[in-house]
Amino acid sequence: MKETTNSPQENPEIEYNTLRIFEEGRNYKTTFTKKFQGRKAWARPNPEEIKTFIPGSVQKISVKAGQDVKAGDELIVFEAMKMHNIIRAPFAGKITGIPVKVGDRLPRGALMLTIKPAK
């Protein structure tokens, strides 16, 4: 009689990954989900960069590079979802760059303006 084993076999057709939960802990042989593999590392947000929060287009630029602004001043009118959204200065400072122009269509998370806080 041929001897059979009851211990489960790993499927040779599957590509396994290793997941470690604690530094000193065990390694787990496993497979990853697509979503986990495609994840982005967290990056500390830079308050000096003003980015789009929604896809849309630049309707109007109300400031110039080098200009000093107060908190709440209108910087850009950004058209998105049929609305003229007013982008305002989050704090008092100097505009250090405006890498966009009127009419630009921008995706979400695109850089619109940089501002350096006043001392």
Partner 1 sequence: MVNLGTKIKELKERQEKAILGGGEKAIAKQIAMGKLPVRDRINVLLDEGSFHEYDLFIAHDAREFGMDGKELPGDGVVIGTGTIHGRSVAIYAQDFTVAGGSLGSMHARKIVKMMDYALRMRIPLIGINDSGGARIQEGVNSLAGYGEIFFRNTLASGVIPQISVILGPCAGGAVYSPALTDYVFVVENISKMFITGPEVIKSVLGEEISMEELGGARVHSEITGNAHFYALTEQECFRQIKTLLSYIPWNNDKQSFLIIEEKQPQKKYNIEKIVPVDPTKPYDVRDIIRAVVDGSEFFEVQEKWAANIVTGYGRMGGRTVGFVANQPLVMAGVLDCDSSDKAARFIRFCDAFNIPIVTMEDMPGYLPGVDQEHAGVIRHGAKVLYAYSEATVPRITIILRKAYGGGYIAMNSRHLRADFVFAWPTAEIAVMGPEGAANIIFRKEITEAPDPEAMRKQKVQEYKDKFSNPYVAAAKGYIDSVIEPKDTRKFILHAIDVSKDKHVGRPGKKHGIPPF
CA–CA separation, 37 and 4 (whole Å): 37
Under rule CB under 8 A, residue 105 binds partner 1: no
Under rule CB under 8 A, residue 86 binds partner 1: yes
In the bound state with partner 1, the residue whose beta carbon lies nearer, of 48 and 79, is: 79
Under rule CB under 8 A, residue 18 binds partner 1: no
In the bound state with partner 1, the residue whose beta carbon lies nearer, of 79 and 104, is: 79
Under rule CB under 8 A, residue 21 binds partner 1: yes
Cα→Cα distances 80→59, 64, 84, 100, Å: 10, 22, 7, 16
Under rule CB under 8 A, residue 37 binds partner 1: no
CA–CA separation, 97 and 86 (whole Å): 18
For residue 38, the tally of other CB atoms under 10 A from its CB is 8
Question: What residues line the site for partner 1 (CB under 8 A)?
Answer: 20-23, 41-42, 44, 53-55, 79-86, 108
